Amino acid sequence: MSKPDLSTEIARTLREDIVAGRLVADDRLPSEADLAEQYGASRATIREALKRLAAQNLIRTQRGAFGGAFVARLDWAEAQAQHATMSTLLISMNEVDFATACHARFALERACAATACQNREAAHLDRMRAELSIQARPGLSDEAFCASDVTFHRAFVDATANPILSYQLAGAIEALQPLMNMITYTARSRDEILRIHGDLLHAVEARDAAAAEAALTRLETYTTGVGEGLILSRHAARSGQSA
């Protein structure tokens, strides 16, 4: 067991104080000078520890008189963004194959179906309808179509009115979107997607969970199929080139 760095240790201590609730949102930490004295470290070391916490969105700092480091009020949106980038990295680094990613994404989204059908309100339906009409616009760029795709699905999971589900799902959907885009740009048929999105909207509107799940399953099947086809043709092209 190698001894960790001092700054790492200090960061760990402070982090535990926050996670355990000994330091609560908007509490002010001692000034860097005070912390330095308290931990018997130099200001530079303390600052490195604080920067670690800041990178994890556990604290925010303010300059000037009566400034300092404050325990951050971590909100859902911020955490979601962080979750999404971490998932993105994870997926790209571990080279998850498309079928696995696709399966996970829709399994998770199906988990929202029943709750979304139960709790959806008019505003959610409106958001979904708005995105649907955007997606139907002729001449829409691929980028815009994909962005609207994400928004549509986020509106769907938000309809669960469960912030935990929203947080988990929206993070996952955003993280997997680059993979999805990759195939959208080349091969996805917008008509088929639009049809399924419409079915999903109507299912949620009718509070028909089974139909919503069925729509998502169809979307999964379709997307997986397109992806597989692409990979096959790419393999064929590659072996053709390398031969």
Radius of gyration of the chain measured on its C-alpha atoms? 23
By a kind-dependent CB cut-off of 5 to 8 A, residue 100 interacts, out of a second copy, DNA, none, with a second copy
Give whichever of 135 and 203 is closer to a second copy, judged by the CB atom. Answer: 203
Q: For residue 199, how far is the Cα from the chain centroid?
A: 24
Name the E strands within the chain: 59-62, 68-71
171: tokens are 């993070």
Shortest distance in whole angstroms from residue 175 CB to a second copy? 9
Q: Does 107 bind a second copy (CB under 8 A)?
A: yes
The Cα–Cα gap between 82 and 229 comes to 32
Shortest distance in whole angstroms from residue 232 CB to a second copy? 21
The set of residues, in sequence order, having a beta carbon less than 8 Å from that of 211 and lying 6+ positions away, is: 199, 202, 203
Shortest distance in whole angstroms from residue 55 CB to a second copy? 4
Burial (CB count within 10 angstroms: exposed 0-12, middle 13-18, buried 19+), residue 119: middle
Single-letter amino acid, residue 197: H
Contact 217, 106 (CB under 8 A): yes
Shortest distance in whole angstroms from residue 185 CB to a second copy? 17
Sign (positive or negative) of CA dihedral 113, 114, 116, 121: positive
Sole window of 30-38, 109-117, 124-132, 218-226 interacting with a second copy (rule: CB under 8 A): 109-117
Give whichever of 192 and 208 is closer to a second copy, judged by the CB atom. Answer: 208
Binding residues for a second copy, rule: CB under 8 A, are 7, 11, 18-19, 21, 25, 44, 47-49, 51-56, 58, 73-76, 79, 82-83, 85-94, 96, 100-101, 103-105, 107-108, 110-112, 114-115, 162-165, 167-168, 172, 176
Binding residues for DNA, rule: CB under 7 A, are 2-3, 5-7, 29, 31-33, 40-45, 47-48, 50, 61-69
